[in-house]
Amino acid sequence: MKQPLIVANWKMNGSELLLRDLVRAFERQGPDLAAQVVLTLPAPFFSLARALLESGEISWGGQNIHWQDEGAFTGEISAPMIAAMGGTHCIVGHSERRQGWAETDQVVASKAQACLRADITPIVCVGERLEERQQDKTIEVVKRQLEAVITNLAPALLEKIVVAYEPVWAIGTGQEATPEMAQEVHSSLKKLLGTQCLQSPPVLYGGSVKADNVAALLAMDDVDGVLVGGASLVTEEFVRLCAYAGEQAKNNSNG
């Protein structure tokens, strides 16, 4: 059975209390978690994550890094810093950073490379804006965004990344893409990845994922997991979402 990958993106939310609560809820759930879970957290919670998630059953990481390993960049953090604390993943190119901090495809590519240099997994986000979907440019946009990242990566490194398709219009709106819409884009992204490496890295879907829609998304052939914002901030909802994802993975392998 292939374990789906469930990544929580807390954004600039949450607290140490929430992290403790979530970890306790997962502990109550028992070890049979059929999904792989990664919590991407604000940096002030890293040291608590290191302490609470020491067993490694649940992984954690960051939401953004600078593309340089060190230097005079006040307020920034680097991939080696996350790695040194035991973090294993970092989101790069989230649409909120592309829009709010004018991150270009090239900046996102440099950040992905910084993660790989530090031996942590970049979760590379791509996704079209509403007007781009309306103009039928979805595939063109997401391919351009992904190509910028993968062009300079050797196949062995490419197999170490995670890709997340997040349509901008679906983020935080409660209006998720239909499973078929996600499948169509994922299949194009996987074809593109398949031209560069043998083993396609996982492609996650993100944008208004909840406990109630996760199974239908994961039932699609090319949806390998989900990136979850709002629903990862409500302990019960997130634990339920992970449990449903695990059940769906069992159904997929039985069917």
Say whether residue 122 binds ligand PGA (CB under 6 A).
no
Instruction: Sketch the per residue contact string, 180 through 219, with ligand PGA: x for CB under 6 A, - otherwise.
Output: --------------------------xxxx----------
- Of the candidates 143, 132, 223, the residue with the CA atom closest to the CA atom of residue 191: 143
Under 8 Å between Cβ of 38 and 5? yes
Instruction: Closer to ligand PGA by CB, 64 or 208: give it.
Output: 208
Instruction: Sketch the per residue contact string, 218 through 247, with ligand PGA: x for CB under 6 A, - otherwise.
Output: ---------xxxxx----------------
- Return the DSSP state at 175: -
The residue within the footprint of ligand PGA, chosen from 171, 214, 239, 242 (CB under 6 A), is 171
Report how far residue 11's alpha carbon sits from residue 169's, in angstroms, rounded to the nearest whole number: 17
CB of 126 to ligand PGA, least distance (A): 12
CB of 124 to ligand PGA, least distance (A): 12
Report how far residue 205's alpha carbon sits from residue 220's, in angstroms, rounded to the nearest whole number: 11
Other beta carbons less than 10 A from residue 155's beta carbon = 12
CB of 195 to ligand PGA, least distance (A): 27
Structure token pair of residue 135: 């103009």
Report how far residue 235's alpha carbon sits from residue 76's, in angstroms, rounded to the nearest whole number: 29
Catalytic residue among 103, 128, 132, 166: 166
CB of 11 to ligand PGA, least distance (A): 7
96 catalytic? Reply is no
166 catalytic? Reply is yes
List b or e across 7-23, with b for residues whose CB sees 16 or more CB atoms inside 10 angstroms.
bbbbbeebeeebbeebb
The residues carrying an active-site annotation are 94, 166
Binding site for ligand PGA (CB under 6 A): 9, 166, 171-172, 206-209, 227-231
